Amino acid sequence: MTDAMLEVRNLTTTFGHGRLTAVNDVSFTVRPGEVLGLVGESGSGKSVTLRSIMRLTPESGAVAGQVLWRGRDVLKMTASDLRRVRGGQISMIFQEPMTALNPVLPVFVQIEENLRAHTDLDRGARAARARELMDLVGIPDAARRLREYPHQFSGGMRQRVMIAIGLASNPKLLLADEPTTALDVTIQDQILKLILDLRDQLAMSVVLVTHDLGVVAATCDRMAVMYAGRIVETGTVAQVFAQPNHAYTRGLLGSVPHAGTERSMLLSIEGTPPPLGALPAGCAFHPRCDFATAPCRTTLPVLEDIAPDRSVACFNRAAVLAAGSPI
Helices (runs of H) and strands (runs of E) counted in the chain:
12, 12
Tell me which of 186, 203, 220 is where a domain ends: 220
Q: Which residues contact 59 (CB under 8 A, 6 or more apart)?
A: none
Domain-embedded: residue 118: yes
Give me the number of domains the chain comprises. Answer: 2
pLDDT along the chain (327 residues), means of 10: 84 90 96 95 94 93 95 95 92 85 95 92 94 90 95 90 89 91 79 88 92 90 97 97 96 80 73 90 95 96 94 96 89
User: Between helices 107-118 and 123-136, what is the axis angle to 10°?
Assistant: 120
The dihedral through the CA atoms of 302, 287, 228, 213 has a sign that is positive
The dihedral through the CA atoms of 50, 56, 58, 61 has a sign that is positive
Nearest to 38 by CA among 300, 304, 296, 230: 230
Tell me which of 185, 220, 255 is where a domain ends: 220
Are residues 111 and 210 located together in one domain of the fold? yes
Q: What angle do CA 84, 85, 87 make, to 5 degrees?
A: 90
Please tell me the distance from the alpha carbon of residue 283 to that of residue 160, in angstroms, as a whole number: 40
What is the pLDDT at residue 185?
Answer: 82
Rg (CA), the chain: 21
Please tell me the distance from the alpha carbon of residue 222 to that of residue 180, in angstroms, as a whole number: 19
Other beta carbons within 10 angstroms of residue 304's beta carbon come to: 11
Are residues 48 and 135 located together in one domain of the fold? yes
Are residues 30 and 152 located together in one domain of the fold? yes
Please tell me the distance from the alpha carbon of residue 243 to that of residue 227, in angstroms, as a whole number: 18
Tell me which amino acid residue 75 is. L
What is the pLDDT at residue 26?
Answer: 97
Provide the residue range defining the domain that includes 201: 6-220
Are residues 167 and 27 located together in one domain of the fold? yes
Please tell me the distance from the alpha carbon of residue 15 to that of residue 39, in angstroms, as a whole number: 22
Domain-embedded: residue 226: no
324 exposure class (CB count in 10 Å sphere: 0-12, 13-18, 19+): exposed
pTM: 0.91
CB 225 within 8 A of CB 245: no
Please tell me the distance from the alpha carbon of residue 37 to that of residue 297, in angstroms, as a whole number: 29
Are residues 160 and 299 located together in one domain of the fold? no
What is the pLDDT at residue 182?
Answer: 67
CB 93 within 8 A of CB 163: yes
